[in-house]
Amino acid sequence: MTTTHEAHPLRFVGVDIPSKADLQNCIHCGFCLPSCPTYIATGQELESPRGRLHLISAVVDGRIEATERVLGHLDLCLQCRACETACPSSVPYGRIMEDARASIMANAPAAQPPAWRGRALFLREVLARPSRLRVALAFGRLYTRSGLQALVRGPLGATIREMLPPALVRLESSAPVLDRAPFRETGTLAAPSAGGSSTRVALLLGCLQGEMYPGVHEATVRVLQHVGCEVVSPEGQGCCGALHSHAGDVETARALARRNIAAFERAGVEAVIVNAAGCGAAMKEYGHLLRHDAHWAERAQRFSEGVRDVLEFVASRDFASGLGKVERTVTLQDACHLAHAQRIREAPRAILGAIPGLRLVEMRTPDRCCGSAGLYSVVQPAMSATILEAKMADIASTGAETICTSNPGCTIQIEAGVRRAGLDAEVCHVIEVLDEAIRAGR
Ligand code: SF4
Ligand code: SF4
């Protein structure tokens, strides 16, 4: 069947068309191929970074049109940016892919690929709107607290699972356990130290972290206090817009960025602390996101320079004094947007390595994507499951009882992997383990 989209192939339009200078950096060496999860899974050049760059160049040059097939290759990309780390020619692949997606979504709404339009609509109308997101998550909380989730997942739920469509069963098995009250506090979260020499920092609450994993914010505040910080959480902040940028909805991402910049500027802090790697990476790139906006470009750049991932920030301070024992075998999953986008690999290892009693066992490929990638596990379930399966085999080989991450998307995905693989392991943020060591040392 020929779709409308095939009959009217798209072109890149608007101000975000990928830059030829960026694309010309690629020398086609192929060094990025072995690090690309979709190339590893398929062995197909067009599912590799080099293949996708060829396609994007050809669309930019007008040699081909953005047919459904071309867009399918772009859409299978996780935007994990492992190819950037591997690239000897510094090709800014993440920026090129975001620009390509934005240039497709800059076409008239009726011409946009329906799946892309639907994804952007969900991200804009639910994820970016706290009141709607809270209603959606309230159903999730009810599902957990009513005991229905445990029933469906337990031995007695086998009959229910058999009656449901496989796609729904897979989606259900990815849902997190929402058994805690959300963390939505604003104002002063940790008071300045009595001596008055504390560093004043602001915490990003984000859209999902505080709703799904409130313990990560609680631990972050305690750890920041331990390293001598006054912590505030400004009113008016919101979703960082990372997933909107990844999905090509840059106008929503830009509106969210402006709102956050204004809110955090009002807080008058020395650093904006982020404990979700994907959000931190996006906020460090607000300068690029708002580069076309004469009123905001400079402010955005200045703001980005003050953003710090919590692990990067804590590792740069005196965090190791007075730590108690945490006797546990731990493995670390490098979040893609920490290791590849922010180039932070040493900080989580320095923190875990300083905890007495903790044994860190590295996976074979700790910086390979787990298949989460925002909405990827929902829109590309088969590839996401393939990638997660490989990740869980790597994790299982370490024998770890604790799997540390630094991004809520990774936590959701790996928790689902733990359940499906039947592993006896917990998943948590690195900062929660450090918090445990701080409390054990008191
Ligand atoms: S971003 Fe990740 S999935 Fe996409 S091409 Fe690069 S390595 Fe492959
Ligand atoms: S490693 Fe870099 S230069 Fe080489 S093919 Fe990949 S993107 Fe191009």
pLDDT for 1 equals 36
For residue 176, the CA-to-ligand 1 centroid distance in Å is 26
Pick from 112, 137, 153: which residue ends a domain?
112
Residue 137 lies in domain: 120-174
Residue 256 lies in a domain: yes
> Which of 168-207 are b and which e, b meaning 16 or more Cβ less than 10 Å from the residue's Cβ?
eebebebbbbbeeebbeeeeebbebeeeeebbebbbbbbb
Instruction: Please check whether residues 411 and 360 belong to one and the same domain.
Output: yes
Do residues 383 and 289 share a domain?
no
Q: 147, 174, 201 — which closes off a domain?
A: 174
Could you tell me the distance, in angstroms and rounded to a whole number, from the CA of residue 309 to the centre of ligand 1?
Answer: 22
Kindly state whether residues 276 and 255 are assigned to the same domain. Answer: yes
Contacts by residues 138-143 (CB-CB < 8 Å, ≥ 24 positions apart): 140/175, 140/176, 140/178, 141/178, 141/179, 143/175, 143/178
Q: Give the mutation target among 50, 93, 334, 367 for probing the ligand 1 site: most ligand atoms within 8 A of CB.
A: 93
Using alpha carbons only, what angle is made at residue 126 by residues 123 and 130, rounded to the nearest 5 degrees?
120
- 33 pocket-lining for ligand 2 (C-beta < 6 Å): no
Q: Is there an atom of ligand 2 within 6 Å of 409 CB?
A: no
The verdict on 169 and 193 lying in the same domain is: no
User: Which CATH number does the domain housing residue 26 bear?
Assistant: 1.10.1060
Residue at a domain's end among 95, 112, 129: 112
HSE value, Cβ hemisphere, 13 Å, CA-based, for 133: 20
Same domain, 269 and 285: yes
69 Cα–ligand 1 center, Å:
17
Residues 228 and 160 in one domain: no
Give the containing element (helix H, strand E) for 358. strand 358-360
| Tokens 């994907």 found at | 278
Q: What is the structure's pLDDT at 245?
A: 97
Edge-first strand listing for the sheet containing 199-203: 187-190, 229-233, 199-203, 271-274, 307-309
Same domain for 340 and 382, yes or no, is: yes
For position 311, which CATH number holds?
A: 1.20.1050
- 205 and 128 housed in the same domain: no
337 and 304 inside one domain: no
In a domain, 44, yes or no: yes
Instruction: Give the distance (Å) from ligand 2 centre to CA of residue 227.
Output: 41
Amino acid, single-letter form, for residue 106: A
Q: Backbone phi, then psi, for 382, in 5-degree steps?
A: -70, -50
Residues with CB under 6 A from ligand 1: 35-38, 49, 52, 77-83, 93
Please name the residue that has the structure tokens 């047919």. 67
What pLDDT, on the 0 to 100 scale, is given for residue 358? 98
Query: Residues 398, 405, 436, 310: what is their CA dihedral angle, to the nearest 10 degrees?
Result: 140
Who contacts 421 (Cβ-Cβ below 8 Å, separation ≥6)? 392, 396
Whether 55 contacts 64, CB under 8 Å = yes
Ligand 1 centroid to 291 CA: how many Å? 24
User: Is there an atom of ligand 2 within 6 Å of 91 CB?
Assistant: yes
pLDDT in single tens digits along all 442 residues of the chain = 334 445 567 999 999 999 999 999 999 999 999 999 999 999 999 999 999 999 999 999 999 999 999 999 999 999 999 999 999 999 999 999 999 999 999 999 999 999 999 999 999 999 999 999 999 999 999 999 999 999 999 888 888 888 888 888 888 888 999 999 999 999 999 988 766 678 999 999 999 999 999 999 999 999 999 999 999 999 999 999 999 999 999 999 999 999 999 999 999 999 999 999 999 999 999 999 999 999 999 999 999 999 999 999 999 999 999 999 999 999 999 999 999 999 999 999 999 999 999 999 999 999 999 999 989 998 999 999 999 999 999 999 999 999 999 999 999 999 999 999 999 999 999 999 999 999 999 8
Q: Is 9 exposed, middle or buried (0-12, 13-18, 19+ CB in 10 A)?
A: middle
Ligand nearest to the CA of residue 31, numbered in listed order: 2
> Is residue 143 domain-shared with residue 83, that is, in the same domain?
no
| Residue 205 and residue 217 in contact, taking contact as beta carbons nearer than 8 Å | yes
At residue 2, the pLDDT reads 37
**Model confidence, pTM:** 0.94
Residues 338 and 288 in one domain: no
| Ligand 2 site, residue 335, Cβ cutoff 6 A | no
Residues 307 and 217 in one domain: yes
- Return phi, psi of residue 227, to 5°: -95, 20
What is the H or E stretch that residue 167 is in?
helix 166-174
Q: Is the CB of 26 under 6 A from ligand 2?
A: yes
Å from CA of 284 to ligand 1 middle: 20
- Predicted pLDDT of residue 46: 97
Residues, the chain: 442
Number of domains in the chain: 4
